[in-house]
C-alpha cells in the first residue's frame, strides 16, 4: 500500500510517467468519429490504468447477508407460505440478501469479517462533477468476499453505475463488456463524472438476481455550481445558472423490492421462477414502514466525505442505534426533517422492477430533474412542473424539490406523509387495518423556522 493521499490529484505528467512515458489509445477508440471523441473525452487506457494504482476514495465489498422485514403474525397471507421469515435466518432477521458494504479504511481482518454481513440498500455515495480546472477522478475499489451461505455459488460481482457516461467501457461493470470481480479478488473503478444529477448503482452479474437480492443503492453527482452563491443558494441539484434547483436539505429516496420466494430460494439452493415475480415487500432506503422512520445507524461524521459512513466496532461490524438492533444491516433512514420555509431536494431512484408512484400529501413537489437531466428544453425552456405524485419506472430517477410550509404552531413538528400510491397492494400483504406493517411509506416532519441546524450530510 502506498502512502499517497486519496485526495491527491495526480498530474497528467505523472500518469505518463507511471505508464512508462507511452500513451496508448484505448482499444477501439481509434474508430470513434472525432465529434463523439470530443464529447466523450475518453481517457487513454494507460491513463486509466495509472489511476488504478492510486488508493481508492471508497472501498466497497460484495457479499451475502441478512436483513429484517416484518414478521408480524398479522402477515398471514398464504402467498408468503413457508418462505418468510426464512428458517435459516439468524435471530432478529428474516431475509437472505446479496449486498455491498463500505469497508474503507478497514484492516484486512476487519474486512474479511464482513463476509455474510452485507447491507441493503447499498451504501450511498456522492461525487463532485469533474472540474477541468482541478482534475480529480473518483476511484471506487470493489472486493468480492464471497457468499458465506452459498460457497457453491462462486458468483462474481461488479459495480455498474446506471445511466453513467463512462470514459471507457472497462469501468462499466456490465460483465460481458467489461470485467467482473470474482471471489477473493479486488478491482478499482475510475469515474470522471461530467453530468450532475441523481443516479443509482448495482451489481450487473446475473443482474435480475443480484439486483433483486439487494446489490443496489443510490449515488449522485454534485454540480460544479455548488459553493457559488446563485439565487440565494449555495447547494444545487444542477448547474442551473439561476438557483432554480437550489436547496437547503437533500434526502435520497431509494426504491427497491423483495420477492420473498426468490430470497428464500437463493438461501435454500433452489432456483426461483422469475416469471412468478411478485413484490411482497416494497422498500424505501432498504426499510419498510414504520422502520423507515427509525434513525440512521450511528454515523462516523469525520469520514463521511463521499458517503454516509456508519460507525463500526473493532471487528469492523456495523454499529446500530439501541432499540433498532434488527436494522443493523439496513442503516439508512427515510425520515425527512426540515424547518418551515426551507427548500428540500428529494432524490428518488428506483431499482425495483415495478413503477413507483410517490405521493407527498399536502405539499406540492417541483420536478426539476429526471434521469440525471435538468428539466430544460433544448432551447433552454424551463420544463419543470409541480405535482403531488411523481411516477418513475425501474432504473429511473427523479429530482423533486418542495418548500416546507409554515409550521402550524401546534406540537414540535407538523407531519406530512410521503408514500407509494400502490400502498394498499404493497403493504407487505398485511391484512386490512394492519397498516402498521406497511411498505413504502415515510414522513416529512416540518419544524418551526430555525429549529434544526443546517444540514451537512444528505439524509441527516
Please state whether the peptide bond connecting residue 408 to the residue before it is cis, i.e. omega within 30 degrees of 0. Answer: no
Q: Are 230 and 435 in contact (CB under 8 A)?
A: no
**Backbone φ and ψ of 128, nearest 5°:** -90, 145
Q: Which stretch binds Cu ion (CB under 5 A): 12-20, 197-205, 231-239, 410-418?
A: 197-205
The residue (of 205 and 358) whose beta carbon lies closer to Cu ion is: 205
The residue (of 274 and 385) whose beta carbon lies closer to Cu ion is: 274
Cβ atoms within 10 Å of 25's Cβ, excluding its own:
13
Residues 305-324, buried b or exposed e (16+ Cβ, 10 A)? ebbbbbebeeebbbebeeeb
The residue (of 40 and 394) whose beta carbon lies closer to Cu ion is: 394
Site string for Cu ion, 337-376 (x = CB under 5 A): ----------------------------------------
Q: Which stretch binds Cu ion (CB under 5 A): 32-40, 131-139, 202-210, 404-412?
A: 202-210
Q: From CA 186, how far away is CA 201, in angstroms rounded? A: 18
**For the chain, how are helix, strand and coil distributed in percent, rounded to 5?**
15, 30, 55
Q: Is 84 in the site for Cu ion (CB under 5 A)?
A: no
Please state whether the peptide bond connecting residue 199 to the residue before it is cis, i.e. omega within 30 degrees of 0. Answer: no
Residues 211-240 close enough to bind Cu ion by CB under 5 A: 215
Q: From CA 182, how far away is CA 200, in angstroms rounded? A: 22
Residues 151-170 close enough to bind Cu ion by CB under 5 A: 157
Q: From CA 200, how far away is CA 273, in angstroms rounded? A: 26
Q: Is 255 in the site for Cu ion (CB under 5 A)?
A: no
CB of 326 to Cu ion, least distance (A): 25
Q: Is 203 in the site for Cu ion (CB under 5 A)?
A: yes
The residue (of 144 and 330) whose beta carbon lies closer to Cu ion is: 144
Nearest residue to Cu ion by CB is: 203
Three cell numbers, residue 346: 428529494
Residues 419-438 close enough to bind Cu ion by CB under 5 A: none
The residue (of 146 and 223) whose beta carbon lies closer to Cu ion is: 146
Q: Is 118 in the site for Cu ion (CB under 5 A)?
A: no
Residues 62-81 close enough to bind Cu ion by CB under 5 A: none
Q: Which residues bind Cu ion (CB under 5 A)?
A: 157, 203, 205, 210, 215
Amino acid at each position: 500500500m502506498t502512502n499517497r493521499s486519496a485526495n491527491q490529484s495526480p498530474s497528467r505528467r505523472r500518469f505518463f510517467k507511471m505508464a512508462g512515458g507511452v500513451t496508448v489509445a484505448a482499444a477501439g477508440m481509434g474508430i470513434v468519429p472525432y465529434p463523439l471523441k470530443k464529447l466523450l473525452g475518453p481517457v487513454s487506457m494507460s491513463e486509466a490504468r495509472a489511476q488504478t494504482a492510486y488508493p481508492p476514495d471508497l472501498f466497497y465489498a460484495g457479499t451475502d447477508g441478512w436483513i429484517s422485514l416484518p414478521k408480524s403474525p398479522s402477515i398471514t397471507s398464504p402467498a408468503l407460505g413457508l418462505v418468510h421469515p426464512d428458517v435459516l435466518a439468524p435471530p432478529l432477521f428474516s431475509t437472505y440478501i446479496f449486498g455491498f458494504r463500505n469497508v474503507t479504511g478497514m484492516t484486512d481482518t476487519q474486512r474479511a469479517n464482513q463476509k455474510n454481513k452485507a447491507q441493503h440498500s447499498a451504501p450511498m455515495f456522492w461525487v463532485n462533477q469533474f472540474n477541468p480546472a482541478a482534475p480529480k477522478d473518483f476511484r471506487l475499489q470493489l472486493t468480492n468476499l464471497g457468499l458465506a451461505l452459498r460457497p457453491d455459488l462462486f458468483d462474481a460481482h461488479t459495480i455498474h453505475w446506471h445511466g453513467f457516461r463512462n470514459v471507457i467501457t472497462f469501468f462499466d461493470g456490465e460483465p460481458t463488456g467489461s470485467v467482473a470481480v470474482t471471489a477473493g479478488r479486488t478491482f478499482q473503478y475510475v469515474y470522471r463524472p461530467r453530468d450532475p444529477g441523481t443516479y443509482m448503482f448495482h451489481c450487473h452479474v446475473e443482474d435480475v438476481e443480484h439486483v433483486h437480492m439487494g446489490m443496489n443503492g443510490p449515488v449522485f453527482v454534485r454540480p460544479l455550481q455548488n459553493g457559488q452563491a446563485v439565487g440565494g443558494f449555495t447547494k444545487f441539484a444542477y448547474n442551473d445558472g439561476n438557483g432554480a434547483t437550489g436547496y437547503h436539505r437533500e434526502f435520497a429516496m431509494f426504491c427497491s423490492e423483495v420477492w420473498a420466494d426468490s430470497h428464500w430460494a437463493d438461501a435454500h439452493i433452489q432456483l426461483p421462477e422469475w416469471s412468478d415475480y411478485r413484490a411482497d415487500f416494497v422498500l424505501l432506503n432498504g426499510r419498510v414502514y414504520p422502520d423507515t422512520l427509525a434513525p440512521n445507524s450511528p454515523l462516523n461524521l469525520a469520514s463521511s466525505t463521499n458517503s454516509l459512513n456508519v460507525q463500526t466496532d473493532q471487528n469492523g461490524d456495523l454499529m446500530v442505534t439501541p432499540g433498532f438492533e434488527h436494522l443493523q444491516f439496513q442503516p439508512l433512514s427515510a425520515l425527512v426533517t426540515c424547518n418551515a420555509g426551507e427548500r428540500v431536494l428529494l432524490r428518488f431512484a428506483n431499482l425495483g422492477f415495478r413503477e413507483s408512484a410517490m405521493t407527498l400529501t399536502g405539499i406540492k413537489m417541483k420536478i426539476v430533474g429526471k434521469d440525471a437531466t435538468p428539466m430544460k428544453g433544448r432551447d433552454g425552456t424551463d420544463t419543470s412542473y409541480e405535482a403531488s405524485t411523481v411516477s418513475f419506472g425501474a432504473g429511473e430517477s427523479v429530482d423533486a424539490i418542495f418548500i416546507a410550509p409554515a409550521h402550524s404552531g401546534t406540537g414540535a413538528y407538523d407531519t406530512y406523509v410521503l408514500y407509494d400510491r400502490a400502498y394498499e397492494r404493497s403493504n407487505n400483504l398485511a391484512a386490512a387495518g394492519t397498516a402498521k406493517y406497511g411498505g413504502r411509506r415515510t414522513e416529512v416532519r416540518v419544524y418551526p423556522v430555525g429549529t434544526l441546524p443546517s444540514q451537512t450530510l444528505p439524509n441527516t
